[in-house]
């Protein structure tokens, strides 16, 4: 997928579209189309078997106009510079939509983490941290978890950065374990935000939540929490998948049992899970299932020009970043399918990461109730703003979200002035 579709093109198309509706001249927003800083590093490592492997890795800061760059670190075999650029830009616009005082950044290491031993993963994390340390920091650029990375990896990251500074710097990274400055509720914050978004969109469209059928692609951090929250809210999760396969059961899968199985071992995959009445499907079939809400929660470009016309769900909520290509977006719009965009739908993670950074910076701990209350309030406000601007301009929710985001980033950038 990564070769056929360049996700950074998706970002540029969305930015151009919003800028033209906002009436901006090219010179007013040209800088947004280029990341401020791109760092590429090579990480040589002695593996457990004595061989040396060299890993390619990146950190990209798309914009720091609204505050320090903020965005996760991805450990995945398909990571490449264009993908990291796109993910960094999406972070700038996501932070702007939910109005947290950050710009956007992202990092990635080209590696299949499941193939590494715990010791190798630890070592790779420390070497990556050291390699990008010159450009990160609590006031410069604050990483977090993304695909393939975990709270434990954030703990190693924080410890390495702290060692380089000579003292503990808890606010250099978010998504840490609770005992190391992590905030209650961060682990499932993105999924909780997706659940809030699903409720908001169904409510606006006057559709019932109880018993509504949902399919979720990807059962990692985001997909698992989304499945748990939505089934607890009374939705019927009829299909889920991971990289190995999909599972389908017409009267709803046993989500607690699936989550228990997946949490037992980070290498557990759905292909080895069994449940009476559940049948194995492939990831393509999952996307084309007849459901009320489809939630892609895996990787970019999953819904594209090759399969968009076979989507049957009337509503798609983008829990992953960039799961729908720009070509697919046009097809879905013509089919009357409502897409709630990633920069709104999956913003719960960065909102709670912001609370974690505030908690560490102030050295004052938040309760889980405070986190949940503030998250819901910020997600609801952002949803309402996006919904209203989209209706007022008769545009899609994606364009609505970019109208808000691009305006906020351009105003910040031009308010500072381009330094000449």
The encoded tokens of residue 318 equal 């983008």
Which of 70, 85, 106, 199 is flagged as catalytic?
106
The closest of 291, 297, 280 to 215, measured between CA atoms, is 291
Comparison of 222 and 382: residue with beta carbon closer to ligand NAD = 222
Choice from 17, 301, 346, 396 touching ligand NAD (CB under 6 A): 346
Given CA atoms 254, 221, 283, 379 in this order, what sign does their dihedral have?
A: positive
Residue 221 binds to ligand NAD (criterion: CB under 6 A): yes
Distance CA 400, CA 405 (A): 9
Per CB under 6 A, the segment of 33-41, 237-245, 272-280, 384-392 that binds ligand NAD is 237-245
Stretch of residues binding ligand NAD (CB under 6 A), selected from 47-55, 297-305, 395-403, 408-416: 297-305
Figure out which of the listed residues 298, 343, 344, 406 binds ligand NAD, where binding follows CB under 6 A: 298
- For the window 100-139, what string marks contact with ligand NAD as x by the rule CB under 6 A? ----------------------------------------
- 175, two tokens: 């998504």
148, 182, 185, 400: which one binds ligand NAD (CB under 6 A): 148
Q: Does 147 bind ligand NAD (CB under 6 A)?
A: yes
Q: What is the dihedral of CA 345, 349, 39, 1, to 10 degrees?
A: -40
Minimum CB–partner distance for residue 243 and ligand NAD (Å): 3
Q: Is 241 in the site for ligand NAD (CB under 6 A)?
A: yes
Show the tokens assigned to 142.
Answer: 């604050």
Among candidate residues 118, 109, 268, 291, the one with its CA nearest the CA of residue 198: 291
Please tell me the distance from the alpha carbon of residue 348 to that of residue 189, in angstroms, as a whole number: 5
Select from 14-22, 162-170, 204-212, 296-304 the region that touches ligand NAD (CB under 6 A): 296-304
Residue 57 pairs with which residues in a beta bridge?
A: 41, 109
DSSP, res 145: B
Is residue 219 near ligand NAD by the rule CB under 6 A?
yes
Q: How far is the CB of 144 from ligand NAD (least distance, A)?
A: 7
Q: Please work out the total of residues on this chain that contact ligand NAD, with binding judged by CB under 6 A.
A: 24
Write the CB contacts of 351 (distance below 8 Å, at least 6 apart in sequence): 98, 100, 189, 193, 374, 375, 378, 379
Question: Per CB under 6 A, does 145 bind ligand NAD?
Answer: yes
Please select the residue that binds ligand NAD; options are 295, 299, 379, 405, rule is CB under 6 A: 299
Q: Are 279 and 305 in contact (CB under 8 A)?
A: no
Q: Does 382 bind ligand NAD (CB under 6 A)?
A: no
Question: Does residue 283 belong to the site contacting ligand NAD (CB under 6 A)?
Answer: yes
Which residues are bridge partners to 170 per DSSP?
Answer: none
Nearer to ligand NAD, 24 or 349 (CB): 349
Residue 89 contacts ligand NAD per CB under 6 A: no
Q: Supply 377's token pair.
A: 């309030």
Q: How far apart are CA 148 and CA 112, in angstroms?
A: 8
Least distance to ligand NAD from the beta carbon of 96, Å? 15
Among 320, 344, 351, 412, binds ligand NAD (CB under 6 A): 320
- Residues 371, 196: contact at Cβ < 8 Å? no
Closest approach of ligand NAD to the CB of residue 89, in Å: 13
Q: Of the ranges 44-52, 220-228, 362-370, 384-392, which one interacts with ligand NAD (CB under 6 A)? A: 220-228
Determine if 217 is a binding residue for ligand NAD (CB under 6 A). yes
CB of 222 vs ligand NAD, minimal distance in Å = 4
Look up residue 345 and give its two tokens: 């739908």
Residue of closest CB approach to ligand NAD: 220
**List of residues 6+ apart from 212 with CB closer than 8 A:** 202, 235, 236, 292, 293
- Is there binding between residue 190 and ligand NAD (CB under 6 A)? yes
Q: Does 297 bind ligand NAD (CB under 6 A)?
A: yes
Residue 45, SS3 per DSSP: strand
Q: Among all chains, which residue has been given the structure tokens 């949490």? A: 263
DSSP helix/strand/coil, 51: coil
Phi and psi of 176, rounded to 5°?
Answer: -80, 165
Report residue 139 as tokens: 């006031």
> Does 236 participate in catalysis according to the annotation?
no
Question: Minimum CB separation from ligand NAD for residue 353, in Å?
Answer: 8
Quick check: 359 binds ligand NAD (CB under 6 A)?
no
By CB under 6 A, residue 222 contacts ligand NAD: yes
Do 69 and 61 form a contact (C-beta atoms < 8 A)?
yes
| Contact positions vs ligand NAD (CB under 6 A) | 145-148, 190, 217-223, 241-243, 283, 297-299, 319-321, 346, 349
Residues catalogued as catalytic: 106
């Amino acid at each position: 997928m990564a070769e056929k579709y360049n996700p950074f093109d998706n970002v540029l198309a969305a930015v151009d579209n919003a800028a033209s509706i906002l009436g901006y001249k090219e010179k007013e927003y040209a800088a947004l189309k280029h990341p401020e800083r791109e760092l590429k590093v090579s990480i040589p490592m002695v593996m457990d078997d004595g061989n040396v492997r060299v890993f390619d890795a990146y950190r990209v800061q798309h914009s720091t106009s609204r505050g320090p760059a903020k965005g996760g670190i991805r450990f995945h075999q398909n990571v490449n510079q264009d993908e990291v650029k796109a993910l960094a830009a999406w972070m700038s616009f996501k932070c702007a939509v939910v109005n947290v005082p950050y710009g956007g950044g992202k990092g990635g290491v080209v590696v299949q983490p499941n193939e590494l031993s715990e010791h190798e993963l630890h070592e790779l994390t420390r070497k990556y941290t050291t390699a990008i340390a010159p450009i990160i920091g609590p006031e410069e650029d604050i990483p977090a978890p993304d695909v393939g990375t975990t709270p434990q990896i954030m703990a190693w990251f924080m410890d390495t950065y702290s060692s380089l500074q000579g003292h503990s710097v808890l606010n250099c990274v978010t998504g840490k374990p609770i005992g190391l400055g992590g905030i209650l509720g961060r682990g499932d914050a993105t999924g909780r935000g997706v659940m809030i978004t699903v409720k908001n969109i169904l409510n606006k469209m006057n559709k019932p939540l109880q018993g509504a059928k949902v399919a979720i692609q990807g059962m990692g951090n985001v997909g698992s929490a989304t499945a748990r929250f939505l089934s607890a809210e009374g939705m019927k999760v009829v299909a889920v998948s991971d990289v190995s396969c999909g599972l389908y059961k017409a009267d709803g899968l046993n989500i607690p049992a699936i989550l228990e199985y997946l949490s037992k071992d980070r290498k557990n995959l759905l292909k080895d899970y069994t449940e009476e009445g559940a049948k194995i499907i492939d990831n393509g079939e999952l996307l084309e299932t007849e459901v009320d809400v489809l939630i892609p929660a895996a990787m970019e470009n999953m819904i594209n020009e090759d399969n968009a016309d076979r989507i049957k769900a009337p509503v798609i909520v983008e829990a992953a970043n960039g799961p729908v290509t720009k070509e697919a977006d046009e097809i879905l719009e013509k089919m009357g399918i409502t897409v709630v965009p990633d920069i709104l739908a999956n913003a719960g993670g960065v909102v709670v990461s912001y609370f974690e950074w505030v908690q560490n910076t102030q050295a004052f701990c938040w309760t889980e109730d405070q986190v949940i209350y503030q998250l819901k309030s910020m997600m609801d406000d952002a949803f309402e703003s996006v919904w209203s601007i989209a209706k007022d301009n008769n545009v899609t929710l994606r364009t609505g979200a970019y109208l808000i985001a691009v305006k906020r980033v351009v105003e910040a950038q031009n308010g500072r002035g381009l330094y000449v």
